[in-house]
Amino acid sequence: MSIDVVILAAGQGSRMRSQKPKVLHELAGKPMVRHVIESAMKAFSSPRLHVVVGHGADQVQAALSDLPINFAHQHEQRGTGHAVSQTLEALGNGPVVVLYGDVPMIQAPTLSALVERVDEQHMALLTVTMANPHGYGRIVRNDQGQAVAIVEQKDASAEQLEIGECNTGILAATGDQLRRWLPALSSDNAQGEYYLTDIIAMAASEGIEVATAEPALVSEVQGVNDRVQLSALERIHQSHEAERLMREGASLADPKRLDVRGELSVGQDVFIDVGCIFEGRVHLGNGVHVGPYSIIRDASIGDATRIEAHSMVEGSETAGDNAIGPFARLRPGTRLEKKARIGNFVETKKAHVGEGSKINHLSYIGDATLGKGVNIGAGTITCNYDGVNKHRTEVGHNVFIGSNSALVAPVTIGDGATVAAGSTVTDTVEDQALAIARARQINKQGWTPPHRK
């Protein structure tokens, strides 16, 4: 069954005090509207996506340019009913779900359950019961308990204001139903707008039953009007992530000081210290230890690896039983084989570090392949860039590179070779050879050092 998903994203969001459209403000490192789209795509198989844009339309379209979306323009802000009507020509006859780009925590199971209730004789409405319903439209039911209308806060009577069941704005109907009802909407209300919610009364008048459902959590339907509300949802989202991780086998030093900004999966007996940030797709294997204030982005960390404090691992992979940091940076394209070690203030990029190899201090290793059992001395760098092109450094097995050496790529260091400290290596070093590439020391007796005048 083909399903249309309409997402309203045309509002200005003036209370955000921002040049950026409200729906592009980020929750867990991702624009709010993208959270909504991803939930819809999880709930339905190949839905047709329609995003209604208005203020900042170019920015919204650019941010979602990688997705198969039909963008509809609402040039005048005349209410939610008017917004949905901009998509009518593109809708099919089957179920249509209306969502909101600033309600980012809606979940796929909630949407699936809602759509199941929709057919020619039924539409569906997502409601929520709140202790303090101020600001929400109220659900009006008849004597048989059927939902027959929604009354907005500003239009509600004193009796209706006492109703605790509220409208979330999220609903589902067929395309045929919407084509009948939306053109008949009236703007005769306190706001002078075309309310989408008025179609509930139209459905009731036609004898079409309005089925209602509630989300598992109130946070699923909480909208964002300002940065304070966005911050509150961020903490709710992160608390859900922390709870999930602990149930899956991770211990968190402080669940309130965790930020997951993507997809994080964990094995058993993982430990995550305070202040860590996980972005993109990250996997932590069994027994991984992540030290405080580390950032891991788009990486796979093998079993029993220890990442010490203030390290950054991006676009990298470790085979397991590795030691990283503190204050280490693994840049994209780094692969550590088992038992390889990256120490403090070491940076790697497009580096394949062999089993048991060590780069322990103050070094840069980029565009390089290191064999097994290599020792890189402190202060060593691979000079991989000639100002135009990048070149590779190839280091064989069981090589010892002395401190403060510069390996000028392209260059090859053979198996078992040794490079003396302070060398600048520009030519191939054969297997088992000792390379000494430094100027002869000269001592000048009686030399007078510079002094202040």
Both 243 and 344 in one domain: the answer is yes
Q: For the residues 79-108, what does the mean pLDDT come to?
A: 96
Both 216 and 244 in one domain: the answer is no
Q: Is 136 annotated as a binding residue?
A: no
pLDDT surpasses 80 at 182:
yes
In this prediction, residue 327 has a pLDDT band, given cuts at 50, 70 and 90, of very high
Q: For the residues 348-360, what does the mean pLDDT come to?
A: 98
Both 217 and 237 in one domain: the answer is no
Q: Is 405 annotated as a binding residue?
A: no
State residue 448's pLDDT score. 81
Both 319 and 387 in one domain: the answer is yes
State residue 155's pLDDT score. 86
Q: Is 331 annotated as a binding residue?
A: yes
State residue 440's pLDDT score. 84
State residue 38's pLDDT score. 97
Q: Provide the CATH number for the domain around residue 352.
A: 2.160.10.10
Catalytic residue IDs: 361
State residue 59's pLDDT score. 97
Q: Is 375 annotated as a binding residue?
A: yes
Both 39 and 95 in one domain: the answer is yes
State residue 12's pLDDT score. 84
State residue 1's pLDDT score. 65
pLDDT surpasses 70 at 335:
yes
User: What total number of domains does the chain contain?
Assistant: 2
* Per-residue pLDDT tens digits for 49-61: 999 999 999 999 9
Is 442 within the bounds of a domain? no
Both 154 and 242 in one domain: the answer is no
Is 444 within the bounds of a domain? no
Range of the domain at 309: 227-435
pLDDT surpasses 80 at 323:
yes
Q: Is 343 annotated as a binding residue?
A: no
Predicted TM-score (pTM) of this structure: 0.89
Say what percent of the chain tops pLDDT 90: 86
Give the residue from 337, 358, 332 showing the smallest Cα distance to 346: 358
State residue 304's pLDDT score. 98
In this prediction, residue 89 has a pLDDT band, given cuts at 50, 70 and 90, of very high
Q: Is 102 annotated as a binding residue?
A: yes
Both 44 and 80 in one domain: the answer is yes
Least confident of 1-15, 262-276, 396-410: 1-15
Is 58 within the bounds of a domain? yes
* Per-residue pLDDT tens digits for 130-177: 888 888 889 999 988 888 988 888 889 999 999 999 999 999 999 999
Both 238 and 207 in one domain: the answer is no
Looking at every residue in the chain, the average pLDDT score rounds to: 95
* Per-residue pLDDT tens digits for 198-234: 999 899 899 999 999 999 999 999 999 999 999 999 9
Least confident of 30-44, 189-203, 224-238: 189-203
Both 161 and 283 in one domain: the answer is no
Q: Is 8 annotated as a binding residue?
A: yes
Q: Provide the CATH number for the domain around residue 77.
A: 3.90.550.10
Q: Is 10 annotated as a binding residue?
A: yes
Both 243 and 302 in one domain: the answer is yes
